[in-house]
Amino acid sequence: MKRRELLKLTALAGTGLALPRIAGADDVDRLATVERLLGQLSLDEKIGQMMMSYPPLDKTGPVPIGSVIFVGNLLKSESAVLERITSLQSRARIPLLIAADVEGGTLNKLSFLPGLEDVPSNRELARGGEEVARQWGRKVGAGMRHLGINMALAPVLDVAAKGMMFESGRSFGADPSVAAALGQAYSQGLAESDVVAVGKHWPGYGDLEANTDHHFVVTERTTGEVDRQAQAFVGCGDAIVGVMLANVGYDSYGSVPAILSTDLVRSAHRQGWLTITDDLAIDALAEATGGDKDEVVRRAFLAGNDILLTTAPIDWDKALDYRGIVKDLVAARPELVARVDDSVHRILRVKARAGLLDAL
């Protein structure tokens, strides 16, 4: 077996969990860079790498986190996005993952870019087939890369024949194999511009009517049905670098949001994926922890999620102290340093795959 193939099968020491693939002819050099950077980071910096938030309010100082999400009014002007991202990257010790919810139809966030005014919804892509999905992935990826956005929180891989995902056009349909083929094609199109794709919402939103942005929802779904819907993600293989976990609770997995389920996080890691929470700033999540918002963050970290996402600025005075909550846990339980290292290793490998570490 070639060395590169061996690297693809590398497992985290002691866990048996696969690692995100590093693509390209220089896999060995990129892996060496990952190991070197991991060894150079302080614990505070490692915890910062595990955070994704709205851009920090401080527009001049160092960026203390590893990833940023662009949402809402941040995505209105080409020049403003370019300027903001250039500033953020210039102030980061390690290049940032810059993410956005890049969907089509009525949720199209990139309509201000020429050629992307009418990105189709997943339902419309399904009518066109895999080649159309791949072509749109190329177009969207080129636009994202022009802006400096290197991570698509897409494609949506939730299979649905009714409910919110179906009615909004966000779902490719009710067949997991069809969703997998279309999602894989779209993600491969994105990858041509070095944009990495994150499928959502693992292990599948399904036919639910309720919106978990506003309500804590527990669905009655057997492990067999959860596995069936998850095949839409599994079928994408390493065309996606990771998954965003659902805020849905499944009665067959403890009736807690998927982001708090060690079993569901671990199942994603076994596929070789990075794991990202859905938005931890959502008030409804605290219903799963007796109203304790800090406990949501603690349990999301302890469940094994690699990136903790909040749409609040990390330095907003009204935001939770996400980094402090994790740091306090690690201080009380030093064995968790190894768990932090596992996540940062995955994060850095995804950054390497996106070409972000090539100049380091």
Summarize pLDDT for 168-178 with one digit per residue, the tens: 999 999 999 99
Domain span at 315? 48-352
- Residue 123 included in any domain: yes
Mean pLDDT of 236-244: 97
Share of the chain above pLDDT 70, in %: 94
Per-residue pLDDT at 96: 98
Full-model pTM: 0.93
**For residue 12, is pLDDT > 80?**
no
Nearest 10 degrees: CA dihedral of 321, 323, 327, 329? Answer: 60
- Residue 277 included in any domain: yes
Q: How far is CA 131 from the centre of its chain?
A: 24
Those residues whose C-beta lies under 8 Å from the C-beta of residue 293, and which sit 6 or more positions away, are: 283, 285, 286, 320
- Please report which residue ranges of 215-285 form alpha helices under DSSP H: 223-234, 262-270
- Residue 170 included in any domain: yes
CATH of the domain at 343: 3.20.20.300
In DSSP notation, 202-217 reads ET--TT--S-TTTS--
**For residue 57, is pLDDT > 50?**
yes
- Residue 37 included in any domain: no
- Residue 220 included in any domain: yes
Those residues whose C-beta lies under 8 Å from the C-beta of residue 248, and which sit 6 or more positions away, are: 201, 205, 206, 208, 212, 217, 218, 219, 257, 258
**For residue 82, is pLDDT > 60?**
yes
Q: Which amino acid is at 215?
A: H
Summarize pLDDT for 199-221 with one digit per residue, the tens: 999 999 999 998 888 889 999 99
Residues 281 and 309: their CA atoms lie apart, in Å, by: 8
- Residue 35 included in any domain: no
- Residue 155 included in any domain: yes
Token output for 148: 């400096």
Q: Which amino acid is at 120?
A: P
Per-residue pLDDT at 59: 96
- Residue 27 included in any domain: no
Count of domains for the chain: 1
Decide: 244 and 199 in contact? Cβ < 8 Å.
yes
